[in-house]
């Protein structure tokens, strides 16, 4: 069964999809390594591509399979898919954490980072997120619904200073 490509794809890449070979090689190598080991639990790997503030693509990997020089490594905790949105007055972090209860999620925030962790028998998640701007930790508001965690912070505003009267 052939898959449909976007109309512009052949213009840029021709008939050969360069990502097919990269993906196939990665999966073949990962399967060989994991066949040798006895693993319990699911294996996750994925990535998202977005455009950064400088106009260049940014690739974010997630899951519990991590590439290394010696080949893929299976980690115990899953790195969730996380998206960070920077607006004029706030920073919002969205993370996919399916299969857990909101009471099991542990959030720790600093002015420039957020740590998300879940340590349960069935599911373990861990991710350290760098925030694009300094935030006020005391303004954090978190919601969790249908496996999606959203945390919103107010940005640290510019200090206007204080008027000084000349005598």
Contact between 26 and 72 (Cβ < 8 Å): yes
Question: What pLDDT is recorded for position 52?
Answer: 77
Indicate if 100 and 46 belong to the same structural domain: no
Domain of residue 24, residue span: 8-76
Indicate if 64 and 86 belong to the same structural domain: no
pTM > 0.75: no
Domain end, chosen from 76, 97, 129, is at 76
Domain end, chosen from 58, 76, 94, is at 76
Indicate if 140 and 84 belong to the same structural domain: yes
Other CB atoms within a 10 A radius of the CB of residue 128 amount to 12
Domains of the chain: total? 2
Indicate if 72 and 117 belong to the same structural domain: no
> With pLDDT > 90 as the criterion, what percentage of the chain qualifies?
31
Q: What is the DSSP letter of 5?
A: -
Domain end, chosen from 76, 104, 128, is at 76
- Model confidence pLDDT, tens digit, residues 29-50: 777 766 666 556 677 788 888 8
Indicate if 85 and 36 belong to the same structural domain: no
Q: Of the ranges 16-30, 78-92, 93-107, 113-127, which one carries the lowest mean pLDDT score? A: 16-30
> Tokens at residue 52, please?
């950064």
> Tokens at residue 165, please?
């009267």
């Amino acid at each position: 069964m052939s898959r449909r490509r976007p109309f512009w794809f052949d213009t840029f890449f021709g008939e050969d999809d360069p990502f097919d070979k990269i993906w196939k090689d990665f999966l073949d190598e990962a399967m060989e390594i994991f066949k040798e080991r006895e693993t319990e639990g699911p294996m996750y790997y994925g990535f998202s591509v977005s455009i950064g503030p400088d106009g260049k693509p940014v690739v974010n990997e997630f899951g519990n399979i991590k590439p290394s020089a010696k080949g893929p490594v299976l980690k115990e905790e899953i790195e969730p898919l996380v998206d960070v949105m920077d607006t004029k007055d706030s920073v919002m972090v969205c993370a996919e954490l399916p299969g857990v209860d909101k009471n099991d999620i542990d959030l720790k925030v600093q002015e420039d980072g957020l740590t998300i962790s879940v340590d349960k028998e069935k599911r373990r998640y861990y991710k350290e997120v760098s925030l694009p701007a300094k935030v006020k930790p005391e303004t954090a508001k978190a919601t969790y619904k249908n496996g999606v965690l959203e945390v919103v912070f107010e940005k640290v505003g510019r200090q206007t200073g204080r008027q000084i009267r000349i005598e």
